[in-house]
Structure 1
């Protein structure tokens, strides 16, 4: 049996007036997905429990069969795993965005998609000016923090503790995802709770440091938005996840351009297949991802393809780009994988977003997402298209999203 999981991140949405009251999934031309819908079964799943963040970190753990109340410690530890960073018992990881804030409004949570090279230069300045100087002045805890550059605006801050100097944070430390603050005031959304004074201090001091930094001066001269602040959030200690093979007895592989998914893959024991041209944005190479997934079927029992583009379009409030992304996924990923699976004998395919992301609000939200399962042993229902409305009409629900993988693999 071959299994394929396709995750069009954040593709679930609400009806949009400009689309005649349709959702982007309804408005898009998706022949491959509609064909699968007529052959398979639709349902709804809730991957974002109300008491946890409505983000990809919780939702993708759920989607892959892991109860977040048992396994979730925070977003940043998952991304640390993607970079091969091992967290010890007293260590914590903090997600570090480079953002653009103007007049206390989150103008851009990506700092205009700042390059990885520019981001690394700003983090080196933060390490030297904000942390190294404090450590040299005798601040013991400052010496235990380290900024770790990642991809573009997505970076990390690591705290290395021990029994004598554990991390100042706890599960009661609260932070806010910057992508949920787009166009909103940030005045009341700085971190709170144990250890938050450290995070707020670094975030506040970064403003003055970055204002005169050559990276930002150059970006402004080129007509780009500067990275005005560090935004620290999503912190947590080391997670402990049983491998996917331990749970289901089969091996898988992950195709993604996003560190969060790379990290989850690493923690569940899946190798990550890196695809040239995969960007995690609207300009990603859909065809290259599709080809890589088809090739991976020769080696792995489960091939998971994650595509960030629909989510990015939603964060920018661009329903037209969201539709284009969905149509590219249908043509360049779903269609070739369906053709390839038919040559492998028994197979099952699952298509589902992790969480809804509404174009109207530009942020993730709690709620059900539509899913589609087709293949060997899966009876067809009466639905003939894949979208939020037809999935709801199916009458089938997974109120706990982590139950979905059992149904998909074991059925």
Structure 2
């Protein structure tokens, strides 16, 4: 049996007035997804329990079959795994966004999609010039990632108290777009250290050559780092141990790369995959088709719908969905027919509303089609049809057992 999982990140939404009361999934032209809906079964799943963040870090663990109450320790440790960073039992990783804040308003949680090279220069300046007024200086390190997505690492000392704890709380910057950040700085144990680092980054970035150049080019500067979603090392059983099949991940996002590493999946890096709206959808589709020859499970994650939602652009979200349908879902559906028994699952991880520009809790629509999957009465893939189908996975981590096991 061959299995394909397609994750159009954040594609679930609410009815939008500008779309005549339709959701982006309803408004988009999605012949391949609708064909799967006609041939297969629809359902909804809740991948974001109310007491946990409504973000991709929790939702994708759930989607792949891992109970977040058991396995989730924070987003940053998952992204550390993407860079093959091993965390010890006393270590912490902290997500470090480069952001643009003006007059206490989160203008851009991506610092205008700052480049990876610019990000590396800013991270290097922090490591070289930021003088920590604390006993923890030698144990802290900023690590560059991809674009605005970076990390802060703390290497623990068995003989000293750590500056952070699992009770340190912080807000995701992508949930603060166009909002005041005055009440959302880190809080709880360890918050003083985190806030101090954020303030010091603002001092260093203020006259940094990278920002001077960006401003001259009409781009937003990275005003400071935003520290959030810290945690210690997660311990996950491999996907093969749990489900008996070997998978591979195709993504342009470190979070999914990290989850893949922790569940024992290799990653296929696709040239032209950006994690944004300009990603090469066709290249991702071709890479997934090629991977079917070597792996039981091929998982393709596409960040573009989520990015469009964070920008409040329903038109861009519709276009991203149509590109996914044309270049990924359609070709993969056809390719699977050459591999005998097969199943395909299309589902976002969490909803992201264009209206609020935020991730949100709630059910997501999903479709499963293929071998031994009985068709239901629905003929379109969207939130309304999936709700009407009546099947629900209230614990999102139960879905994978049905997809792989039944």
1:399 paired residue number: 394
Q: TM-score, normalised by structure 2?
A: 0.99
Deviation at 1:166, TM superposition (A): 4.5
Give structure 1 regions of 4+ aligned residues with deviation exceeding 3 angstroms. none
Query: Alpha carbon RMSD of aligned pairs, Å?
Result: 0.7
1:328 paired residue number: 323
Contact 2:252 2:269 in 1 (8 A): yes
Alignment partners' CA distance in 2, 1:218 and 1:16: 39
Alignment partners' CA distance in 1, 2:245 and 2:351: 29
> Does the alignment pair 1:305 with 2:303?
no
Contact 1:254 1:272 in 2 (8 A): yes
Alignment partners' CA distance in 2, 1:165 and 1:400: 39
- The one of 219, 223, 231 equivalent to 1:224 is 219
Alignment partners' CA distance in 2, 1:252 and 1:213: 43
Q: TM-score, normalised by structure 1?
A: 0.98
Where structure 2 has 5 or more consecutive residues not aligned to the other structure, the ranges are none
Secondary structure of residue in 2 paired with 1:231: strand
Q: Matched residue pairs, number?
A: 406
> Does the alignment pair 1:134 with 2:132?
yes
2:350 paired residue number: 355
> Does the alignment pair 1:15 with 2:10?
no
> Does the alignment pair 1:33 with 2:33?
yes
Contact 2:100 2:222 in 1 (8 A): yes
Secondary structure of residue in 2 paired with 1:304: strand
Deviation at 1:230, TM superposition (A): 0.5
Alignment partners' CA distance in 1, 2:175 and 2:362: 15
Instruction: Give CA deviations for 1:173-224 in whole Å, capped at 9, x if unaligned.
Output: 1010000000000000001111111110011121121111111001000000
- The one of 204, 211, 224 equivalent to 1:209 is 204
Contact 1:349 1:374 in 2 (8 A): yes
Deviation at 1:162, TM superposition (A): 2.3
Deviation at 1:167, TM superposition (A): 2.5
Contact 1:91 1:166 in 2 (8 A): no
> Does the alignment pair 1:59 with 2:59?
yes
2:144 paired residue number: 149
1:78 paired residue number: 78
Alignment partners' CA distance in 2, 1:208 and 1:163: 32
Where structure 1 has 5 or more consecutive residues not aligned to the other structure, the ranges are none
- The one of 177, 180, 185 equivalent to 1:182 is 177
Contact 2:136 2:163 in 1 (8 A): no
Q: What pairs with 1:335-346 in structure 2 (closer than 5 Å)?
A: 335-346=330-341
Alignment partners' CA distance in 2, 1:385 and 1:325: 18
Secondary structure of residue in 1 paired with 2:10: coil
Q: What pairs with 1:274-293 in structure 2 (closer than 5 Å)?
A: 274-293=269-288
Deviation at 1:127, TM superposition (A): 1.3
1:49 paired residue number: 49
Secondary structure of residue in 2 paired with 1:305: strand
